[in-house]
Amino acid sequence: MTDTTVAGATTAPAAGRRSRSKKQEPTGTDRIPQPSQGWYRVKGTNLKLRRVTTILEQGCSKGDALTFWAGNITADTAMNNLPYLVSSSLYPDKRTEAYDWLRRAHTRKKDERKDVGSAVHRLIEAHVLGTPMPEELLTNPELAPFLDHFLRFVEEWQVTFEASEMVVGNEEDGYAGTLDYLVRSPLIAAALAAYFGCEVPAGSVFCGDTKTGGELDIKGVYPEASLQMAAYRKARVAWLRDGTKVPMPDTFWSGVVLHLRPEGYRLIPAVADDAVFAAFLTVKANAEWTSGLAKTVIRPALTLPATTEERAA
C-alpha cells in the first residue's frame, strides 16, 4: 500500500520513517484491524480508518429525542425513589449525594442497555460460529429470553449465516466497522420482495444487525441503523476470521434489523442503498467538522486596540 492520505483516514508523516527498522508484517489474526479511540488501524501500514459508530455518534444530531428520553428516565427514577430523595434533601451532604445520583440516572440506564446489548451479541456470535457460549452469559436469567427469541428467529426464517462480527472497511472513503452478520434466507428474500414490490433472488445475501433497545411496541430501531448498514454494504474489503483480506461480498440493497427484546422479536427492513450511503458520507463530513475544524473556528474575544495617545504614553 502506498503511503498516502485518503479521505477521512490518517497516515503518519513521511519524515523520519526511512531511518527506522522495518516493522514485522502482521500475520494470521493479527492482520484484522481493531477499534481504538474511534479508529481502526490497518495493521502493517500507517493507515487509520474512522470507526463507523463514532461517525454516527459525532455526525448525527439526536435532537430532542435524547433530551426527552433522559428527562423521562430522570423523572421516573425520582418518582420511584421519593422517600430517599425527600430525606436526603434535609441534609446538605446527603442532598449533594442524592442530586449526583439522580442526575446520572440516564447514564446508568444507557450503560445497562449497552451491557445487555454486548452480552447478547456475544451469545449470537458464539451460536453463529458454533463455539461454546460463555457460561456466565448462558446462565444469566436476564439474557435467556434474548437467546430464546434469537434461536426462534433463526428457525422461523430459515436463516443461514455467511459471516459474524466481521471487520469491513473502505480505505478510499476512510472508514471501517464491524458488521453483526451476513445472512441468507429464502423467507427474508420473499418477504422483502413482497414488501418492496421488486425481485429479490432467494439466494441473496443480506446485511443483518441486532438491536436490543426500546420496547417491541415502541420504536426501538432508528434511521441511524440504515446509515450504519449502508456503510458496511459499501465497504470495499473485509477481513476473514483467519486474518485474510478479501473483497467485501455483494449484498442486497436492503438489510434487516433484528429488534430483539425479552418479550419477543421483530424483523425490520433497513434500506441501505446508494442514496442512504450518500447520506452516510454527509454524516461523516459532519462528524469530521464536529471533531475537528469546529473546535478551532471560534477564537478568544478581541481586545480593544490602544489609541494613538495611549501608545505614545
Asked if residue 162 belongs to a domain, the reply is yes
In this structure, the chain runs to a length of: 313
Q: What are phi and psi of 309, to 5 degrees?
A: -65, -40
Query: Which residues is 179 bridged to in the sheet?
Result: 166
- Look at residue 181 and tell me if it is in a domain: yes
Given pLDDT bands bounded at 50, 70 and 90, which one contains residue 14?
very low
CB hemisphere CA count around 281 (13 angstroms): 12
Angle at 86 between CA 81 and CA 87, to 5 degrees: 105
What average pLDDT does range 43-59 have in this prediction? 93
> Is residue 218 in some structural domain?
yes
Share of the chain above pLDDT 70, in %: 86
Q: Which helix (H) or strand (E) holds 187?
A: helix 186-196
Q: How far apart are CA 153 and CA 149, in angstroms?
A: 6
Buried b (16+ CB within 10 A) or exposed e, 261-282: bbeebbbbbbebeeebbeebbe
Q: What is the pLDDT of residues 218-265, one digit of tens each?
A: 677 899 999 999 999 999 999 999 999 999 999 999 999 999 999 999
Kindly report which listed range (19-23, 144-148, 205-209) carries the lowest average pLDDT score: 19-23
In a domain, 12, yes or no: no
Closest by Cα among 162, 174, 290, 160 to 231 = 174
Q: Is residue 188 part of a domain?
A: yes
pLDDT band at residue 16 using 50, 70 and 90 as cut-offs: very low
- Residue 23: pLDDT band by 50, 70, 90 thresholds? low
Query: Residue 299: is it exposed, middle or buried by C-beta count within 10 angstroms (0-12/13-18/19+)?
Result: exposed
CATH number of the domain residue 255 falls in: 3.90.320
Residue 282's domain comprises 47-52+114-289
What's the mean pLDDT when you consider all of the chain? 86
pLDDT bin (cut points 50, 70, 90) of residue 19 is: very low
Residue 222 lies in a domain: yes
Alpha-carbon distance of 120 to 132, in angstroms, equals 14
Of 272, 240, 255, the closest CA to residue 184 belongs to 255
The structural domain count of the chain equals 1
Helix (H, G, I), strand (E, B) or coil at 173: coil
For residue 152, give the 3-state DSSP assignment.
helix
For residues 231 and 52, give the distance between their C-alpha atoms in angstroms, rounded to a whole number: 7
Residue 102 belongs to some domain of the structure:
no
Least confident of 25-29, 173-177, 307-311: 307-311
Residue pointed to by grid coordinates 427474508:
188
Give percent of the chain above pLDDT 90.
Answer: 56
* Inside any domain, residue 64: no
At 7, the pLDDT band (50, 70, 90 cuts) reads very low
Average pLDDT over residues 100-117: 73
Q: Say if residues 178 and 54 touch (Cβ distance below 8 Å).
A: no
Between CA 213 and CA 27 the distance in angstroms is 38
